[in-house]
Amino acid sequence: MLTHSMLLCLLLACGLGIGSAASAAPGEPQAQAEEEPRALLEALDTRSFEDKGDAAQAIAESAAEQKTRWLQALLDGRLGKERRGERFYIITDDSGREWPIIDAITFEDAGTGTRRTVEAFKINNDLRTRIEGLLASLSLNAGDEASRLSAAQRLVGEVTAGNADRVRGMRDDEESDAVRDQLDVALALYDVQQGDIEALGTLRGNLDTRVRNTLSSIAAGDSELAAEAQSVLGGIESKRAWYDRAQTLFFGLSAGSILVLAAIGLAITFGVMGVINMAHGELIMIGAYTTWMIQQALPGQPGLALALAIPGGFLVAGAFGVLIERTVIRFLKGRPLETLLATFGLSLILQQLVRSVFSPLNRRVTSPDWLQGAWQINEALSLTLNRLAVLLFCLAVFAGLWALMRYTRLGLEVRAVTQNRAMARAMGVRATRVDMLTFGLGAGVAGLAGVALSQLTNVGPNLGQSYIVDSFLVVVFGGVGNLWGTLVAGMSLGVINQVLQPWVGAVLAKIIVLVGVILFIQKRPQGIFAPKGRTS
């Protein structure tokens, strides 16, 4: 019996031993798995920036799965160590006094830390540049071509003796032509810095600012390499100059598109009715305030608000235009001076009305995300999205207005009244109705100009006053009542003004444009495109 009892105890003891060994086994590999990452992070705990750079290099070359996140956290100043302990942390948010932190090795939540409990590793500019290069090299292994291309672009100027061979190997293994070409530029720039003249051929015509800056420093010498670098740099500068001209042209066309939108409605009413409407700028302002009001009614939805503001601005400003024509303009036909004074008074009334209702402070209209930022074509040319959208919007409005005048009965009647009012009335055209609809149409287009302007500048009571004189200038220069003349004149004046501004300043540029238009009108009083018929 005793023998059986002893045997049972022995079996239980063995079982417990096996169980203990089994439960301990998973912990041992885990501890071993943390030894190498901990050793890599320990190397960063030094005051020497050079040693930190070597430690970062070792991290990048290691097989640690966490290496990319470590280097990014180090670059952001969020990788650190416990001040009174051996644990390493990544600070996920350092905006407050207490930082949410996670374990740098396991990425498990570690509670919160402060400056007293966690010391973030410090880096200098040289180390920052080195880490950015290491991250770019690691990103080249990503499966996404866009990510690899972005990484290759970041490597320009960041190739060093320590990673040059690895970058060459990645270049040879790369399948994408775009990524390979970008790596060629990065390697060529490094080779040029090492004195390789032949590598300059790869850099010809490259617009990258980092290439330009590096070549500028090399070209300052007196060696054969410096002379060749100066030649390559000259070609780059010439290419950049052409892109600068293209960007100036774009800004001129975008400024001209605003002039066209502001003037095209005025051109219609002036051509049909002969009315000098000094309140036209306030109709632009009404369109801009309509956009702001719709956005206030739809908070957090700037895209939908803008879409609704286009018909809304047209209808509200158009309604104001019809009201002005019915209550003021119709009683002053044939008396241009009285019309001018009456509409000038109306402009003051509308400005004061807006100040009383909305206050004299400027209001900001938020643009939707797809209108913010710029379309970066290359290093030397970028097109701001809001100005590009305004330019396309102007062309769309012009096309719609041209089709209206060309293919509708209203357009036919407007053209008839413009050419000969008396004959049109004799043919049964209701000139009074045409005047009302035309004035409302011109006011509605002014409202659309206000919608476009709200995406470029703040909305205020004086918004329209900045464009009324320029609008009349465009109408006279292009030819009274001529849509194509208004388009050509507006775009031309916008481009000329934009070209002159860097040379003589904004004020003097406008004076030169005004003098030029006056001289042109002296030679050609009817403008670029003379109107058909006459206004009577």
Q: Kindly state the average pLDDT of the residues 98-124.
A: 89
Give the dihedral of Cα atoms 476, 254, 300, 294; nearest 10 deg: 10
Is 1 a residue whose pLDDT tops 70?
no
What is the structure's pLDDT at 172?
84
Q: How confident is the model at residue 97 (pLDDT cuts 50, 70, 90)?
A: confident
Is 22 a residue whose pLDDT tops 70?
no
What is the structure's pLDDT at 11?
36
The mean pLDDT value of the chain amounts to 83
DSSP 197-259: SGGGGGGTT---HHHHHHHHHHHTS-SHHHHHHHHHHHHHHHHHHHHHHHHHHHHHHHHHHHH
Q: Kindly state the average pLDDT of the residues 284-298.
A: 92
Is 12 a residue whose pLDDT tops 80?
no
Query: Dihedral of CA 144/146/149/150: which sign?
Result: negative
CATH number for 308 = 1.10.3470
Most confident of 140-144, 391-395, 531-535: 391-395
Give the ranges where 119-174 is alpha helix by DSSP (H): 125-139, 145-154, 164-173
Domain of residue 402 covers 245-523
Contact 396, 257 (CB under 8 A): no
Q: Is residue 20 part of a domain?
A: no
DSSP 407-440: HSHHHHHHHHHHH-HHHHHHTT--HHHHHHHHHH
What is the structure's pLDDT at 390?
92
Specify burial of residue 444 (Cβ count, 10 A radius: 0-12, 13-18, 19+).
Answer: buried
Q: Residue 74 in 3-state DSSP?
A: helix
Q: Is residue 178 part of a domain?
A: no
Phi-psi region of 276 (alpha: psi -120 to 50; beta: other; left: phi over 0): beta
CA distance 429 to 452: 34
Q: Kindly state the average pLDDT of the residues 377-396.
A: 90
CA distance 39 to 31: 12
Helices (H) and strands (E) in the chain, counts: 20, 7
Q: Is residue 154 part of a domain?
A: no
**Beta carbons within 8 Å of 73's beta carbon, 6+ residues apart:** 79, 90, 91, 104
Lowest mean pLDDT among 35-44, 157-166, 439-448: 157-166
Q: Kindly state the average pLDDT of the residues 50-71.
A: 85
What is the structure's pLDDT at 213?
87
Most confident of 143-157, 265-279, 292-306, 505-519: 292-306
CA distance 279 to 345: 8
- Helix, strand and coil content of the chain, in percent to the nearest 5, comes to 70, 5, 25
Q: Is residue 89 part of a domain?
A: no
Is 311 a residue whose pLDDT tops 90?
yes
> Is this structure's pTM higher than 0.85?
no
Contact 313, 447 (CB under 8 A): yes
As a whole number of Å, the end-to-end CA separation of the chain is 134
What is the structure's pLDDT at 13?
42
CA 33, 39, 44 angle in degrees (round to 5)?
140
Residue 194: CB atoms within 10 A of its CB come to: 9
Amino acid residing at 40: L
CA distance 364 to 430: 43
Q: Kindly state the average pLDDT of the residues 139-159.
A: 77
CA distance 282 to 343: 10
Q: How confident is the model at residue 143 (pLDDT cuts 50, 70, 90)?
A: low
How long a stretch of residues is the chain? 536
What is the structure's pLDDT at 508?
87
Q: Residue 166 in 3-state DSSP?
A: helix
Is 130 a residue whose pLDDT tops 70?
yes
Distance of CA 365 to the CA centre of its chain: 16
Name the residue with higher pLDDT: 286 or 7: 286
Contact 93, 76 (CB under 8 A): no
Q: Is residue 325 part of a domain?
A: yes
Contact 40, 69 (CB under 8 A): no
What is the structure's pLDDT at 517?
85
Residue 43: CB atoms within 10 A of its CB come to: 15
Query: Dihedral of CA 229/230/231/236: which sign?
Result: positive
Is 387 a residue whose pLDDT tops 50?
yes
Integer angstrom CA distances of residue 358 from 28, 320, 447, 489: 72, 18, 18, 35
Q: How confident is the model at residue 380 (pLDDT cuts 50, 70, 90)?
A: confident
Most confident of 67-76, 85-94, 309-318, 463-472: 309-318
Q: Is residue 291 part of a domain?
A: yes
Lowest mean pLDDT among 19-28, 228-237, 383-392, 412-421: 19-28
CA distance 62 to 40: 9
Is 314 a residue whose pLDDT tops 70?
yes
Q: How confident is the model at residue 3 (pLDDT cuts 50, 70, 90)?
A: very low
Q: Kindly state the average pLDDT of the residues 262-273.
A: 80
Q: Which of 299, 265, 292 is nearest to 447 (CA)?
A: 265
Q: Kindly state the average pLDDT of the residues 312-336.
A: 88
Kindly provide the b/e burial profile for residues 390-410, where b requires at least 16 CB atoms within 10 angstroms of the residue's own CB: bbebbeebbeebeeebeeeee
To the nearest whole percent, how much of the chain has pLDDT over 90?
16
Is 258 a residue whose pLDDT tops 80?
yes
CA distance 274 to 284: 20
Kindly provide the b/e burial profile for residues 133-150, where b requires at least 16 CB atoms within 10 angstroms of the residue's own CB: bbbbbbbbeeeeeeebbb
Q: Residue 452 in 3-state DSSP?
A: helix
Q: Kindly state the average pLDDT of the residues 528-532.
A: 66
Q: Is residue 132 part of a domain?
A: no
What is the structure's pLDDT at 141?
67
Beta bridge partners of 112: 100
CA distance 119 to 84: 10
Q: Kindly state the average pLDDT of the residues 42-64.
A: 86
Residue 248: CB atoms within 10 A of its CB come to: 15
Q: Tokens 């055209």 identify what position?
A: 429
Is 360 a residue whose pLDDT tops 80?
yes
Is 16 a residue whose pLDDT tops 50?
no
Is 442 a residue whose pLDDT tops 50?
yes
Q: Is residue 193 part of a domain?
A: no
Q: How confident is the model at residue 32 (pLDDT cuts 50, 70, 90)?
A: low
CA distance 467 to 64: 63
Is 529 a residue whose pLDDT tops 80?
no
Q: How confident is the model at residue 65 (pLDDT cuts 50, 70, 90)?
A: confident
Beta bridge partners of 376: 382
Most confident of 120-134, 170-184, 292-306: 292-306
